Every structure is written in C-alpha cells, then in structure tokens.
Amino acid sequence: MAEETTEETGGEEPEPERVPVDIRSRLALALDVDDLIEAKRLAASLRPYFGTIKVGLELYLAAGPTSVGYFVEAGFDVFCDLKLHDIPNTVQRAAGVVGSLGARWMTAHTSGGPSMLCAAVEGLAEGAANAGMPAPGVLGVTILTSDDTASEADLVARCDLAVDTGCGGIICAAPDLAITEPWADRLVRVVPGIRLPGGDTHDQARVAAPGDALVDGADLLVIGRMVTAADDPVAAAEELVASLLS
C-alpha cells in the first residue's frame, strides 16, 4: 500500500470509525481536480466520510492510471468515471485497462448501444481477471444532466439495456429514482447532483438533498463541489453526515 505522508494528508486524520459504515459505504467523493497531490490531500482528510473515490476525466487525464491505482491501494473503492463511448473493440480494450487497475466501478454511456456495453462489461471483467483483481462493474450513464432532449421512454429503455448487457448499475439523477425503481433489485443506482438545501447548485439542474436521495432508493451518492469546493471541506462533510444521521 502506498504510504501517505503528513504533507499529503495535510495533517492529522480524523478517526475513520466516527462515521457509521452504512453511511460511509454509500458516499463517493468526486475528486474533480487536475492534480494528484491535491487529490491525495483531499482524499486523506475526507477518508472517514467516504468509502468510494471517484476519479473523473480531469484527474485521469492529469495523472493517468496512477490516480486509480493509488486510491485502490489506499483501501478505497474506486469509481473510474471515464464515460466510455466508442466502437466496441476500442471500449473493450480500454475497459480492460481500467479493470486491470483494480477499479470497482467504471462508467460507459448506455447511448453507445448493446454491442458497446457488452464489450465494456467483457473488457472490464477480463482486465480484472487477468490482473487477479476482484470483479468490477460497469455503470451505465443513462441520461446526462445536460441532455434536455431525452425522454422517460429513453430512460426506461436504457435501464433495460443496462440489465441485458450485464451492467452492474446506472448513473441517474435523483428525480429519476422513481422511474428506475423497477430495476433496483438488478442495478446499483448511483446519483450525482447532491446538495444540502440552500447550498450552491453550481451547474447542476436536477439536484437533491442527500437524505432524500437515499430515502428514494439511491445506493451510492456522488458528492462533489458540495464538499470539495467548500471553504472547509471537512466541516462540509461533517454537515453532510449529520444530515443523514438526523
């Protein structure tokens, strides 16, 4: 396991046990930064609150596969959010690389169609198996929050597609949890756009409070700027957890 230096952690870490495991296991920290040192510092200080680290395009492009491997070795579940969408052969080979890194989850666009999603699922599983890593899962991105042309029928079709192609879950906005409920027993539902009431919504059009999203059936909440852009990220994470305990 990679050593975390005091410099990387930015000081003393809070006790991990203070946050109940059933809350920590449902919170994913979106490390949307372009610097691995900064990402490591954020992850170290917020470790007690988050069981999953989301490595998105920005960090992956800045720091490469090391960014995934580091957080895997540090003991987090890693959610590799690269939103793959290409020809099946390319997606299969790219997913194989992600699988070999030990990621727990990887995203691919359901709009890429059945062959591409099957290729993503196969590639991810093969990559993990070849590297002796535990079996990861593909999360199908249903409808981008920026897409205002997709219909409820599109969402339903994409949930069916995710199940039929062997995806482990989907990404959906909180308001879509009711529509996606029929697939809840077969798909893990991961929900971004989480904000505490009255908080800055930034560019997210469809936000929800963390407690409401969990009550509505979300399995994993993606927490980004609500915590990472706060003046005091640890205090913001405390506030988040307090809202779930109340």
Question: Which chain residues interact with ligand C5P by CB under 6 A?
Answer: 30, 32, 56, 141, 144-145, 171, 192-193, 202, 204, 222, 224-226
**Closest to ligand C5P by CB, 26 or 122:** 26
**83 annotated active-site:** yes
Structure tokens at 112: 């890429």
**Closest CB 197 distance from ligand C5P, rounded Å:** 15
Handedness of CA 151, 153, 155, 158 (dihedral sign): negative
Alpha helices in 31-142 (DSSP H): 36-46, 57-63, 66-73, 88-100, 114-130
**Closest CB 222 distance from ligand C5P, rounded Å:** 4
**Closest to ligand C5P by CB, 13 or 219:** 219
CA within 13 Å, CB half, 223? 38
Among residues 83, 85, 93, 206, the one annotated as catalytic is: 83
Q: Residue 56: which residues within 8 A CB-CB, separation 6 or more?
A: 30, 31, 32, 81, 82
CA 36 from chain center: how many Å? Answer: 17
**Closest to ligand C5P by CB, 110 or 165:** 110
What is 4-18 written as a DSSP string? PPHHHHTSPPPPGGG
**Closest to ligand C5P by CB, 8 or 32:** 32
Helix (H, G, I), strand (E, B) or coil at 64: coil
**Closest to ligand C5P by CB, 124 or 141:** 141
**Closest CB 142 distance from ligand C5P, rounded Å:** 8
Phi, psi (5° rounding) for residue 164? -60, -30
Residue nearest to ligand C5P (CB): 224
Residue carrying the six token digits 């700027």: 225
**Closest CB 67 distance from ligand C5P, rounded Å:** 14
**Closest CB 158 distance from ligand C5P, rounded Å:** 12
CA separation (Å) from 65 to 4, 85, 224?
18, 19, 21
**Residues with catalytic annotation?**
83
